[in-house]
Amino acid sequence: MDYHLSRRDKLRRAVKKAGADALLVTSFTNVTYLTGFSGDDSFLLVGRDNDVILSDGRYTTQLEEECPGLEMYIRPGGQGMFDAVAKIVGKMKAGRLGVESQSMTVSLYNRLDKDLAKAALVPTDGLVENLREIKDKGEIAATRRAIELTERGFAVLRATLRPEKTEKQVADELEYQMRQFGAKSIAFPSIVAVGPRAALPHATPGDSQIGDSNHLLVDWGANEGQYNGDLTRVLLTGKISPKLERMYRVVLEAQRQGIEAVRPGAVAEDVDRVARKVIDEAGFGRYFGHGLGHGLGLDVHESPRLGVSSKTVLKPGMIVTVEPGIYLPGWGGVRIEDDVLVTRSGHEVLSDVPKSFEESIVG
């Protein structure tokens, strides 16, 4: 089955509904989603009955391999993207050309608006992103592969952890291991944060040593080519204080309840609220300063967002992270993150890395 063509056919209906004859897809990630093309610098025009990808000579061979059957327009040397767009739009006779508000540049918009005499521009918002929320079988399988690579890398990290290693060394080794197991790249720069550094939700790995504190936060993920894993664990590496144990158990319980609330028909903000309530009631509410989770797909952070005032209704096929946290400035932080698929009957947790309090104690 041609997933990409069926995605473009679904998009065609959405474009029509948005009042446009065609859509100029300028987000490279959206182009990948709609065509399978893994390169950059290429736009896609989705018309009423045909599609054209606009690229340049560097990508001819790659396009033939990755997108058999898709019409391509290779810009001759010296022709800018703008002129290529104008030419193909003219040929398609799209009187109302949809454009992607989130990715089109103001400069391209202004030029098209001025020079495309026969076409009116119709700004659209999230047409492709909405389709991307629901993963098909191929995407779910790819995400499972990415998560498996993510897990295997972490198993090595855990087995080889030493007090004298620095955050940077641990992060580098983790990323190397994921690649060794088959990851194409990393999903995002790993966070490896010791003790007080773990209080920064987006700490970058530095020179702190694992033995400098009693806990280590690792937020990491593998990319299998297109799809991503995104997990967080906290390892307890030294003498555990009652405060740390309490924080850990509260976050774990918040995550458990958050995951339980993931099911078709649930509203994203309600799932967030369930987990947030656990942390609030334990007295840590002001130390949980981010949303509960996010969609996971071609982008590590994509729609839907699980957070305060997110009205998205969860549907089967969505993959979201559930990642509550408590961050005490200058002291430390605990976050636990898993990747969860919304199924017809509820949910399936796709990731499986030990996380009970006892299992998090190292050494």
CA dist 135 and 157 (Å) reads: 30
Among 100, 175, 230, 299, binds Zn ion (CB under 5 A): 230
Between the alpha carbon of residue 243 and those of residues 141, 246, 332, the distances in Å are 40, 5, 10
Calculate the CA 16 to chain-centre distance.
28
Could you say which residues in the range 203-222 bind Zn ion, by CB under 5 A?
219
| β-pairing verdict for 338-342 and 347-349 | antiparallel
Between the alpha carbon of residue 319 and those of residues 21, 186, 222, 312, the distances in Å are 31, 19, 16, 13
Q: How far is the CB of 252 from Zn ion (least distance, A)?
A: 16
Tokens of 51: 């599609």
Q: How far is the CB of 351 from Zn ion (least distance, A)?
A: 11
Calculate the CA 68 to chain-centre distance.
27
Q: How far is the CB of 353 from Zn ion (least distance, A)?
A: 12
Identity of the residue, 27 or 190, whose beta carbon is nearer to Zn ion in the bound complex = 190
Helix residue ranges per DSSP H, 160-267: 167-181, 242-260
| β-pairing verdict for 96-100 and 293-295 | unpaired
Q: How far is the CB of 323 from Zn ion (least distance, A)?
A: 5
CA dist 181 and 149 (Å) reads: 6
How many of the chain's residues bind Zn ion (CB under 5 A)? 5
- Stretch touching Zn ion by CB under 5 A, among 50-58, 244-252, 266-274, 318-326: 318-326
Could you say which residues in the range 112-151 bind Zn ion, by CB under 5 A?
none
- Stretch touching Zn ion by CB under 5 A, among 11-19, 164-172, 321-329, 350-358: 321-329
Tokens of 138: 């191929």
Q: Binding pattern to Zn ion, positions 93-112, x when CB under 5 A?
A: --------------------
Rounded to 5 degrees, φ, ψ at 191 are -105, 120
Can residue 339 be called a binding residue for Zn ion (CB under 5 A)?
no
- Stretch touching Zn ion by CB under 5 A, among 4-12, 90-98, 99-107, 314-322: 314-322
Among 213, 237, 321, 360, binds Zn ion (CB under 5 A): 321
- Stretch touching Zn ion by CB under 5 A, among 123-131, 262-270, 312-320, 333-341: 333-341
Chain positions contacting Zn ion, by CB under 5 A:
219, 230, 232, 321, 337
